[in-house]
Amino acid sequence: MEFPELDFLSVAKWVDSAMGWLLTNLDGFFRGIKAVILQVTLAFEWIFLTLPWFVWILFVIAGGRFLLKSWKKGLVFAAMLFFVGSVGYWELAMRTMALVSSSVLFALLIGIPLGISMARRDGFERVMKPLLDAMQTMPSFVYLIPALMFFGLGRVPAMIATLIYAVPPVIRLTNVGIRTVDPEAVEAARAFGATKRQILFDVQLPLARPSIMVGINQTTMMALAMVVIGSMIGAKGLGMEVLLAINRIEVGRGFEAGLSIVFLAIIIDRLTHSFAIDKKNAS
């Protein structure tokens, strides 16, 4: 009465074999990727840690004023950022922002071209959709295993795991944005003799910008949501504080670190989402 187990359908064996082959034959390739990613992440860390704290506070005030058209929101953002520093988490917050920024940068470099390809090729879209579904629904802890095996402990595997988890929204929304561009606008550009490249860059991408900006916003938020999980493999930042608080059952410490992450998320969400809102209003 037991359910029959088919050994030849064992996905675990296939995955383990593939991982072994990759580690044996492409070790130099992964070392090169690690070196590039590490340098980019360190560059972001240098930027975030070098600029004085009051400069960042002035930046968020200016962001509230010029992006959201509200001094009040800018001052609220400044108060949130000031709280993060006042409880002793400024450096960790900046390290977290460096990890999120580098993850989002690579997500955009990969995601936007893939989204454009999906919009222009129906066959490619049919192939990508199941992969994106798997990337979004697979437990994020699963990403840590191959990232750890290929890149060891530290910032790089955490960024790779964050990238895999966070890149689907920008791919999907770039695809949707381009596909929902008014066909009459495309036909008009084609009638005036525009090439496919000109139609893409001068018509489709500008009109799809609100959707793409929402995708960037969601990718950024999902990257920030990975900071605690990334800390499990050595990524320093606010996530590490939350993890330590859990291990030591320090409720207050965990609450402060968690609240700092929430404040960063609110600031990033409002500022990045403003680009899509402004564009929609302008149109």
What residues does each domain of the chain span? 14-50+87-282
State the average pLDDT over residues 211-233. 86
* Domain 14-50+87-282 superfamily per CATH: MetI-like (1.10.3720.10)
Q: What count of residues does the chain have?
A: 283
Sign of the alpha-carbon torsion through 264, 266, 269, 275: negative
Computed over every residue of the chain, the mean pLDDT equals 86
- Residue 119: partners with Cβ closer than 8 Å, 6 or more residues away: 125, 174, 175, 177, 178, 179, 204
Nearest alpha carbon to residue 162 among 212, 232, 107: 107
* Each residue's pLDDT tens digit, 113-151: 999 999 989 999 999 999 999 888 888 777 778 888 888
Q: Is the pLDDT confidence value at 5 over 80? A: no
pTM for the model stands at: 0.85
Nearest 10 degrees: Cα torsion 221, 223, 224, 227: 160
In tens, the pLDDT along 164-199 reads 888 999 999 999 999 999 889 888 888 888 888 888
Q: What is the distance in angstroms between the CA of the first residue and the CA of the last residue of the chain?
A: 64
For the ranges 48-52, 226-230, 234-238, the one whose mean pLDDT is highest: 48-52
